[in-house]
């Protein structure tokens, strides 16, 4: 099945019969049913109504909104210097292949007319707060994933609307009216499929996946679309002959556990459209990081200093996006012979700004210099995380943070 691209007024393809209307489709989301096979069925006694909202090219869209001269042009948020990294790209820039986390030099080669703008995290936070206030009109069960996306559980909504599709439409309309930006939304019966659905009709789209559509929808997708399946995992799956959700669903739990360890159970359920994770309003990621594999090994200290700076920019942008702070920094390095080493440092106070994070990153790099063998991969991760809000309210003596933008 290749789910149709559909806008707000289009019909949805349901299971059997003819295509129901949006309202009719949504009416089936809260139906109370008896599940014949509880461990494997994507349905529950009460089907949940989950919305995943994802802002469209958020950072770049804020810049285009605030500067009319940037509208319709390829824009990258981030540093334009040799060591710069693209934090976000407008859709005009993406058309040239420009992506977030891409070195600025590479982005410029792909799109010579690319316009770089320095990030303004306070502006993004302000819009994020507006969006969060819109969500809160309908539910208190809001799980932010970053400044620009969140899960909402609207099984029981504050306004008694009862229709997840109507709520998603209302949220998107309010975001457009009150912020001047667009958002895409996925509506389904669990978090895994709602997130997949929100990406289906981007930008400025809405996609609804009903319980009876879930397994077939998942089966039609490449596994690289699955949340948590990164490039390395996708490559491993390809070597094992797994390319799509259907390929994954054909594997039993024993096979998946053998090849993917404890993650095998998650993949087993996901391939069948099952995800019983709740929308957790108090969740916080365990770690935030990033790494880069190099075509040519890095050997000189200058090369490695430049490389670690790019990773610092990349990871700090993610830390800001997730509104988190942490105490432990881990550096991973892989040598040309594929031997991997890690170095870590835990500090007494939470790392508060990019300068502190960079200082720790460079001090960890010092521990593996000189690198005569050559480094083919470098990565940094921040862990022991706490949300910015929790840290700020921890004590009245805690000073307010000064957030650093990505440097040029």
What does the angle CA 362 – CA 366 – CA 370 come to, to the nearest 5 degrees?
A: 130
Per-residue DSSP letter, 42: S
What letter would DSSP give residue 185?
E
Q: Which two tokens stand for residue 78?
A: 């981030």
Angstrom distance (rounded) from CA 265 to CA 172: 34
Quickly tell me which residue has 């949300």 as its tokens.
387
Distance CA 406, CA 408 (A): 7
Structure tokens at 135: 């969500």
Place of tokens 């990349």: 314
CA distance 37 to 44: 10
Integer Cα distance of 399 and 408 in angstroms: 27
CB 370 within 8 A of CB 364: no
> Which residue do the tokens 């996946």 mark?
209
Catalytic residue numbers read: 149
* Closest to 181 (Cα-Cα) out of 230, 123, 233, 223: 123
- b vs e for 50-67, b when ≥16 Cβ sit within 10 Å of the residue's Cβ? bbbbbbbbbbbbbbbeee
Tabulate helix, strand, coil % of the chain (nearest 5).
35, 20, 45
Q: Any bridge partners for residue 184, and if so which?
A: 54
Furthest-apart CA atoms within the chain: distance in Å? 68
Pairing of strands 183-188, 206-208: parallel
Do the beta carbons of residue 172 and residue 161 sit within 8 Å? Answer: no
The upper half-sphere exposure of residue 144, i.e. CA atoms within 13 Å in the direction of its Cβ, equals 21
Helix (H) or strand (E) holding 239: helix 231-239
Asked whether 290 and 250 are in contact (CB, 8 A), the reply is: no
């Amino acid at each position: 099945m290749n789910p149709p691209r559909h806008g707000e007024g289009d019909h949805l393809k349901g299971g059997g019969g003819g295509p129901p209307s949006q309202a009719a489709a949504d009416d089936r989301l809260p139906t109370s049913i008896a599940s014949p096979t509880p461990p494997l069925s994507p349905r529950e006694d009460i089907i949940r109504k989950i919305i995943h909202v994802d802002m469209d090219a958020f950072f770049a869209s804020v810049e285009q909104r605030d500067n009319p001269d940037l509208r319709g042009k390829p824009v990258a948020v981030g540093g334009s210097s040799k060591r710069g990294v693209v934090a976000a790209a407008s859709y005009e820039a993406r058309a040239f292949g420009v992506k977030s986390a891409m070195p600025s030099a590479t982005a410029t080669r792909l799109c010579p007319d690319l316009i770089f703008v320095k990030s303004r995290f306070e502006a993004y936070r302000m819009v994020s707060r507006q969006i969060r206030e819109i969500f809160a009109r309908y539910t208190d069960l809001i799980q932010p994933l970053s400044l620009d996306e969140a899960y909402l559980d609207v099984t029981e909504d504050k306004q008694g609307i009862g229709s997840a599709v109507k709520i998603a439409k209302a949220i998107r309309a309010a975001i457009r009216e009150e912020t001047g930006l667009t958002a895409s939304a996925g509506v389904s019966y669990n978090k895994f499929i709602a997130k997949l659905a929100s990406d289906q009709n981007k930008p400025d789209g809405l996609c609804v996946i009903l319980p009876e559509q879930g397994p077939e929808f998942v089966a039609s997708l490449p596994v690289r679309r699955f949340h948590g399946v990164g490039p390395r995992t996708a490559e491993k799956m390809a070597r094992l002959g797994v390319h799509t959700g259907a390929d994954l669903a054909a594997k039993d739990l024993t096979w998946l556990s053998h090849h993917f360890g404890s993650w095998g159970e998650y993949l087993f359920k996901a391939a069948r459209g099952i995800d019983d994770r709740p929308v957790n309003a108090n969740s916080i990621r365990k770690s935030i990081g990033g790494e880069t594999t190099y075509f040519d090994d890095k050997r000189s200290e200058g090369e490695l200093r430049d490389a670690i700076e790019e990773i610092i920019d990349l990871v700090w942008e993610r830390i800001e996006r997730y509104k988190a702070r942490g105490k432990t920094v881990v550096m991973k390095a892989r040598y040309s012979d594929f031997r991997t080493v890690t170095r870590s440092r835990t500090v007494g106070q939470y790392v508060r700004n990019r300068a502190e994070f960079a200082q720790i990153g460079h001090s960890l790099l010092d521990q593996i210099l000189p690198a005569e063998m050559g480094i083919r991969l470098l990565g940094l991760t921040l862990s022991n995380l706490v949300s910015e809000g929790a840290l700020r309210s921890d004590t009245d003596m805690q000073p307010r943070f000064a957030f650093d933008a990505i440097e040029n």
